Amino acid sequence: MNHTDRSEGGPRPTAASPSTERRQTIVFDAVSVVREGRTVLDGLSLTLTERRIGIVGRNGSGKSTLLKSLIGLVAPTEGTIIVDGRDSITDARAIRAVTGFLFQNPDNQIVFPIVAEDLAFGLKNHGFDRAQTAARVDAALDRLDIRALGRRRIHELSGGEKQLVALAGVLALGPKTVLFDEPTSQLDLHNRNRFRAVLAAMPEQAVVVAHDLELLDDFDRVLVIDAGRIVADDRPSRALALYRERSA
């Protein structure tokens, strides 16, 4: 699965220990994104340092664009985005080396048919040797309690299993931060609960775009975005109440 910046390689993550503090400071400075004459992000200025950051908003409000801009997949038309001192455009490779991205549809991230081979492909592309790769694949599958899926064919997995495999691929690279774009959109209640537990146990920083508002209940901070602007930035209870009110 094409979890982080495989195509460009980039510096290898230096530490993967889940016990160490892993988070980055993300600074949006007057960021606007204009696409085909439409303002998608409108003058965002934000500093994000928390471990759990949620982003909510109606369809088309700019949430995915915000996530993608953080790792240089979308360039600001105006302003800058700095992640741990690195510019999202000129230093995109370095940012992606420590910032994983989990797409809405895990099928988009599949490269190899067998789960373990697919995970190994991502690691080799990041410069890990054969022994390191095998150890990291095993550790990531163990961490999510999905070792049994290692030899399975990805296209035969359920949506929930694929989502967990995709996350294993991201975590195996040792990111500081993981960006999630609607991670539970395809999951049934059981797998949602499972994903929630996995997320709660992750020491890595997480920025999560979600329509599944319950997922964000115990987050540190929630941003409500509307037409490319932040209309609330608060603890979950307050931010989500405001979002529910605006959506009624």
Of 21 and 36, the one with the shorter C-beta distance to ligand ATP is: 36
CB 207 within 8 A of CB 70: yes
Sign of CA dihedral 155, 71, 219, 30: negative
Quick note: the x/- pattern for ligand ATP over 155-184, rule CB under 6 A, is: ------------------------------
- State the number of binding residues for ligand ATP (CB under 6 A): 12
Taking CB under 6 A as the binding criterion, the range among 7-15, 56-64, 159-167, 169-177 that sits at the site for ligand ATP is: 56-64
Alpha-carbon distance of 62 to 22, in angstroms, equals: 26
- Length of the chain equals 248
Alpha-carbon distance of 121 to 135, in angstroms, equals: 13
Q: Which of 26, 40, 92, 206 binds ligand ATP (CB under 6 A)?
A: 40
- Does 35 bind ligand ATP (CB under 6 A)? Our answer is yes
Q: Which of 21, 36, 129, 245 binds ligand ATP (CB under 6 A)?
A: 36
Of 151 and 211, the one with the shorter C-beta distance to ligand ATP is: 211
Of 5 and 181, the one with the shorter C-beta distance to ligand ATP is: 181
CB 41 within 8 A of CB 62: yes
- Does 65 bind ligand ATP (CB under 6 A)? Our answer is yes
Of 38 and 155, the one with the shorter C-beta distance to ligand ATP is: 38
CB 216 within 8 A of CB 54: yes
Of 35 and 244, the one with the shorter C-beta distance to ligand ATP is: 35
Q: Which residues pair with 100 in a beta bridge?
A: 178
Write the CB contacts of 146 (distance below 8 Å, at least 6 apart in sequence).
161, 164, 165, 168
- Does 63 bind ligand ATP (CB under 6 A)? Our answer is yes
CB 1 within 8 A of CB 119: yes
CB of residue 27 to ligand ATP, shortest distance in Å? 20
Of 15 and 75, the one with the shorter C-beta distance to ligand ATP is: 75
> Left, alpha or beta for 18 (phi > 0: left; psi -120 to 50: alpha)?
alpha
Residues that bind ligand ATP (CB under 6 A): 35-36, 38, 40, 57, 59-65
